[in-house]
Each structure stands twice: as C-alpha cells, then as structure tokens.
Structure 1
Amino acid sequence: MDIAMIEAAAGRAQGHIRRTPLLSSPRLDAISGRRVMVKCECLQHTGSFKARGGWAAVSALPEETRSNGVVAFSSGNHAQGVARAAQMHGVPAVIIMPSTAPVAKIEGTKALGAEVVLYDRLKDDRDAIGAALSESRGLTLIKPFDDPQVIAGQGTCGLEIAEQAADEGVTQADVVVCCGGGGLSAGIALALEARAPGLRVRTAEPQGFDDTARSLAVGSRVRNEGPEAGLCDAILTPMPGALTFPILHRLAGPGLVVTDDEVLRAMALAFAHLKVVSEPGGAVALAAALFHAQAFEGDAVIVTISGGNVDPGVFLRALEG
C-alpha cells in the first residue's frame, strides 16, 4: 500500500465519486473549544465513504474477472458501495448482510440491483458463506476493509482532506476518523503521510467495541469480546484488520472511545448545526471531538462523518434525546 495506489484510485474515481465538503459551525467550535471541521462523507454516493472503496476495488478488477460478478459481506455501507460499483459496471453483485442490519441499508442495497443474502450474526460464519458463494458462482470477494484496493479507495478521502485543510490554513491538527476494521482510517493516514504530514489520524470507536484503541495501546491486534451488536452497527468489527492495523500502528495517534449517549448527542448537533444526517457509527468521530476535547491539542480538529444511512427510529431517538 502506498500513495501511488491511492492516486491511481483517485484517477479511476473521477466522475464517479463525489468530492465531499468540509463543513464547520460556530456552535460546534464553541462546544469543542477549537475549530471543528467536518468531512461529510454522509453526502457521498450511497450515503457513506464506502462508495470510494467499492468503486476502487471493482474498477481495478480485470474485465474478464469482473464480468463474473462480485460478492461482499457488510452490515450495509460496504454493501451499497460494492452494489453501486457493480451496477455501474454492469456486473452481478451478491451481498451477504446480517439479518439485524438496518432496514434502510438492506433496502438500499437491493435498490442498487444486488442479490442480498441474510445471515444470523450470532450463529452463522459470514466468511464461510462468502467463500462458498465465491467458489460456486465464480464471484470475486471484495472484503470490507482488508483489501488493498478498498484501502486505496478510502484513501482518496484523505487526499481531499489534505487539500481542503490547506485551503483553510490548517496544517497541524488531529484528523479523527470513525473506525471499524480500519480501512478508512488507514487509507486516510497513508494519504496524509504523503500530502499533509502535519495532520495525524486518530481513530474513534464506540465503548465496548474499542478493539483498535486497545490494539494501538498494546502494539498488537486484540479482539472484542461478545456479539457484534450495538447502536453503531456500521463499525462493530471483532478486531482491526491484518492489513490496516500495521498502517495505523505506524501512523495513528492514540485511539478515542465514546459512549452511545455521546454518539446520539453528536447526531443531533450535526443535524442542528450542519444540516446533515449521520448514522450512529458515522458520528463517533464528531462525538470524540465535541465531548473529549481534553484529548486534543492545538486550535483545530478535523473529523469524519462517515455515513448517513440511519433508520428513522434511531434518528428520531437522537433528535428527541
């Protein structure tokens, strides 16, 4: 993985992936005690940054391989990113999703022309299901984060952050990234290393699913205990990726951990003051910047809102809270 792969992914993404805005609000600045600049990947195609990695991976496949179709497993955002890329390339997509995934994400994936296969997160092995489908149908498996092309695609977000921060006069700051398996944070970290070395990635995770923060603290990958179930469904991975963690271990600062209540408050504040909709997993970085201000130095912090695919009931809970 290097900057050349990220730049190549950016070239293939031209005309297919949005350059999302970097937004700010005086009210959010006041809460944090510093400038808070928000990279709104909730405004990306399919409602999350996963459109970047999905496009990068599908577009990089040789045509004869791609024509057979692709398979992916996801709670919803990677699903939609891969489904959209497959649809635009005119190839089949099979997406393996937990039966507990938000209805909005399941329906969104189907709307993009993908075949959805549901599984029980507590009983079934999604990797085994994916391997079986890949073998029986000749599909190419596109992993949600431990895939070099997916990481490169997510890294295109980092190229944009580097340019947008420079335009705002910010050359020294933490860049807080919502983190599940680490594809987005690793990709952004690689891009910033090459294009804005004064910007440092910090991962943000929900309490109880802080495998990356704990792994960074001890220097090796550790696993979460218990089922992958909780408010922040998009980033509930069992442990950091084999490809992503070495990148984060080398380039990222200490990990950050937030509570579900802080996530819901951040969702409401993003809607009130930025006029954007965030899903819970997409709001953890903003929650860290707003409610853990003591963890940062300097007069600015950059955060991602990584996705906005939220069920109405959950969003209403955030607004009413």
Structure 2
Amino acid sequence: MENETFNMNILQLEGLKVSPESSNPAFILLLLIYIFIMVSNIGLVILICMEKSLHQPMYLLFCNMSINDVFGATTIIPHLLSDVFIPSTERSIHYINCATQAFCAHFHGGTSHTVLMIMAFDRCVAICNPLRYTTIMTKRMVVKLSVLAWSVAFLLVAVSVGLSVRLSRCRRVILNPFCDNPSLFKLSCENIIINHIYGLIIGIGTMVASLCSVMLTYIRIAIVCLSSKNKALNSKALQTCASHLAVYIILFLSGFIIIVFHRFPHLSDQRKLASILFHVVPPSMNAIIYGLQIKVVREKIMSMFNRREMR
C-alpha cells in the first residue's frame, strides 16, 4: 500500500518534445534565452534602483514586471533544460513539486496582467492629471498598487490550485511540457466541473478585466491628447504609452492563443508550444521594449558599443 501511494506521488512528465538530434540546439537556445531574460531584467531593476533620476512611479512599477518575468522564466525554463536529455518515459516530478510549479506558472501569468493594469493607471494619471500626479502617485501609493497587483493574483491562483490539490488521483501522467492547473485536476477521476468553470472564469475574467481597463485608460488618454494643443505633451505621452501598449499586446496575444488552442484538442502540440512561449517571449521582450525607452539605458548601451569600437 505504501509503495502504491509513493508511486502515485511520482508523476511522469512529458516535458519538452524534441528529437534526440534536436536536443543540443534546443538546450543551447533555451539556455541563451534564459540567460538573456535574467541578465536584462535583473540588470534593468538594478539600474532603476541605483539611478536616482529613475526613481519615478512609472519605472518603480515596471520593476514589478521585471521581477515577475524573472520569476516566471525561472519557474519553467530550468526544469525544461534539465529534462531535455532525459528520455520522455523517464522524466518524473513529485506531486508536491508539480503543484508548486503549477501555482507559480499561473501566478506569473496573473501577476503580469495585474501589474500592467496598475501601470496603465499610472500612465492615465500622469497624462490626464499631470498637475496632481505627484500628489496621487506617491511612494506609498506605488507600494499599495504593487502589493494589490501581487495579492489579487496570489489569491485567485491559490484558490484555483487548491481546488485541484483537494482531488484524489487515479492517473500519474502529465501530458504537458510543465505542470499547470489543468494538468493537475486531469489526474483525478472525480467530477472536475468546478475546476473547469473556476479556471475558465479567472482565466478569461483576468484577461477581460485587464483588456477593459487598458482600453478605457487609452481611450481617456486619446481624448486628452486630441483635445490638447501641446505637441510636446502629446509626443511624450505617445512615447511612454507605446511601450506599455506593446508589452500588453505581446502578453495578451500570448495568453489568448493558449486559450484558443485549449478549445481544439487536435492542436495540443501547438498549445504546448504556445504555453512555453508565454513564459519565454514576454519576459524576453519586456526588458528590451522598456529598456530602450529609458534614456539612461540607451546611453549606457551606446557607451558600451563606443568602447568596443575604440578598442
């Protein structure tokens, strides 16, 4: 009986589906992407913390995004790298570790949306109420918004994963590159309709809420810019909003593609690839998009290239 219980706690994980001849290129590519995500995002956070001119709400709020991107990539990529050279039949993960990875993966996705929502609020206040910006977006407000963004995502995902962990298990195979909440509750032979409904509600609900808030924010910003004759203000607004909007579009499309593929079982391989890209593409692009917008970052990059040319 003890051996049977132990075996049910050791799950077989599909992992990354690559042919033996593609293992080395896949490993090198994933490793380089992971290193780039870590260096670019951590470097950007350190720069913002050290550069006093960047101690502005917009950049301090962006630190949330960079930290979350590092967290999300670390949740998925190292485990994929460790499984690349292991035969698919021998890839395993303990149930507790699987549940933890599922929680972290969904927590990263939810936090990405909530952080972009508070960043949209910051841009709205800065452009629509510039005279009151410093009194509204104080350091205390930045901390409150940051805590709110992480707390909301934490609670929603905790309930979702909790509903899955409570179920008994009759299967031990995870048909996914990594553990996520659907993989967890599909291990059970019990009625999982509640899991499906709640997962769909928070998944689509989070995306709809973030989409509506961002749309309303940019409609208001557009109205202010169109009614203003200050070209300098409009140009600055366009520059800062373009970065935020680009980051949001990348995140939204990455998540939307996964939801669409979930509706078509015959596209399971495409969905699995999309689920990996969700934790790879946005974290890779966010630091580039926001980093190039920051003048100090551009100057440091240019100085590095100039030093190489001097040599």
Calculate the TM-score normalised by the size of structure 1.
0.27
Higher relative contact order (CA 8 A, sep 6+): 2
Higher helix share: 2
Higher strand share: 1
